[in-house]
């Protein structure tokens, strides 16, 4: 393998603040923040918006999505001008 063309892989903590979930794994991402892990070592930390601990598919919970008025808005926007023939 050629040297100095591959990104450096190192331990990084991924943190989902919404769920309070943290995962220590290897990654090539650069992070500015650091965190002291359970073993006492300091690792870079990357904050993520969604993880398996907070995603509705994995947790089995559903989020409420506001769908009221979407059909009516569609019909109003693309309403037919001529009556529909049977």
Tens of pLDDT along the chain (86 residues) come to: 678 888 889 999 999 888 889 999 999 998 899 999 999 999 999 998 888 787 766 666 765 555 667 777 777 777 766 566 66
Q: What CA–CA distance (Å, rounded) separates 15 from 23?
A: 7
pTM of the full structure: 0.62
The half-sphere exposure of 57 on its side-chain side, counting CA atoms within 13 A, is: 3
């Amino acid at each position: 393998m050629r040297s100095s063309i591959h990104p450096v892989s190192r331990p990084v903590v991924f943190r989902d603040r919404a769920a309070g979930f943290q995962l220590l794994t290897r990654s090539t991402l650069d992070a500015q923040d650091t965190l002291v892990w359970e073993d006492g070592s300091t690792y870079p930390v990357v904050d993520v918006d969604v993880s398996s601990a907070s995603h509705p598919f994995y947790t089995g919970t559903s989020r409420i999505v506001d769908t009221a008025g979407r059909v009516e808005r569609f019909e109003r926007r693309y309403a037919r001008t001529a009556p529909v023939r049977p």
